Chain A
Amino acid sequence: MNVAEVVGSTAAIGYGLAAIGPGIGVGLVFAAYIQSTARQPEAARITQPFMWIGFAVVEVLALLGIAFGFIWQGTIP
């Protein structure tokens, strides 16, 4: 007897798990930027490009998850 059944692609579950890390990472990047500008408002312009670089480097992990989710769609039979 099946109590609960899951059908379809497991990639969605995998992507959900894969997005946790980048989510935390992007949060940390922006938290650090906000904190540094609050402490030192003049430094806002100087640190901005580095914030975007850090954001982009972390964000690519989540995006790799999207791309690979389509490449390896393991399906539950």
Chain B
Amino acid sequence: MTGQTIVLADTPFPPTVEDFYPPSIAPWGEQSYWFTKITLLVWLSVAILIIYFLVSYRKPQLVPTKKQWLAESIYGFVRNNIAVDMIGREGVRFAPYLASLFCFIFVMNLWGIIPFFQISPNSHIAFPIVLALISWVLFIYLGFKKHGAGYLKFALVPPAPWFILPILVPIEFFSNFIVRPFSLAVRLFANMFAGHMLLLVFTLGGFAMINSNVLLAPISILSWAMTIALTFLDFAVIALQAYVFTVLTASYIQGSLAEGH
């Protein structure tokens, strides 16, 4: 779609970061990056989610239809297995946020393996950063709301002998307020980035081999078969990353809401 590496015959082999910047598809000139495939996919993900959940809940029935069953089981999974399991009874009020987070990340990631789209918007770090920042602000806000100014003491000062505190407090600050959002964003981004890169290496590698020597054709076919296998692996990674992001957000929320040590 939209002309990205369609002519594979003379593709340079090692795929580079440039392959993550598909050409502009909007009528605003070649060099404008206002509307690319990435933009399109983000809008599509949002539209799909909103329309799907609206349609499947339009006429809720006691005996659910197939659509309603799927929507209900996605929400029920996040609510029961993530929100309530991680946060406890209080977690129900975060279930809507966690469910939207889960669905959004899942759909965004899924573009990485859907034929003809095959790039996830999450392989640009901007989108994971925004998602991680929302979670970061949320758990800090909840902490201050629950503990007041005492949240700083709660989050930064672990119960330890006083002489070790000068070392522990900076470590706690670094791990709670800096590493958490950073690792949330980088984990999602790097998984999608690496997944796309792997698929590119095996697809383009097949072409590179078959172009350099016809005798290498069997290995090219093996390489393309690997691409298919890796697509299935990528699906597992996609679902897992959506789950992990949501579980970690829930666990940070739980940390902010917990009673004192």
Contact = CB atoms under 8 A, between A and B. Distances in A.
Given A53-B248, A57-B183, A60-B183, A66 B193 contact: yes
Interface stretch (B36-44, B157-165, B184-192, B203-211): B184-192
A77 interface: no
A67 interface: yes
B251 interface: yes
Contacts of B243: 52
B158 to A, nearest CB: 18
B161 to A, nearest CB: 26
Contact of B190 (A53, A55, A57, A66): A66
B86 interface: yes
Interface residues of A, number: 13
A31 interface: no
Given A56-B244, A56-B248, A49 B190 contact: no
Contact of B186 (A52, A63, A70): A63
Q: How large is the interface on B (under 10, 10 to 19, 20 to 34, 35 or more residues)?
A: 10 to 19
A56 B86 CA distance: 16
Nearest to B245: A56
Main DSSP-derived SS at the A contact region? helix
Contacts of A56: 187, 244, 247-248
B85 A60 contact: no
A76 to B, nearest CB: 15
A17 interface: no
A67 B189 CA distance: 9
Nearest to A56: B244
Interface of A: 49, 52-53, 55-57, 59-60, 63-64, 66-67, 70
6 contacts: A49-B81, A53-B244, A53-B248, A56-B187, A59-B187, A60-B186
Interface of B: 17, 81-82, 85-86, 183, 186-187, 189-191, 193-194, 240, 243-244, 247-248, 251
Given A64-B190, A67-B186, 20 more contacts: A49-B85, A49-B86, A52-B244, A52-B247, A53-B248, A53-B251, A56-B247, A56-B248, A57-B183, A60-B183, A60-B187, A60-B190, A63-B186, A63-B187, A63-B190, A63-B191, A63-B194, A66-B193, A67-B190, A70-B17
The 10 closest A-B pairs by CB, nearest first: A63-B190, A56-B244, A60-B187, A60-B183, A67-B190, A66-B190, A66-B194, A49-B247, A52-B244, A63-B187
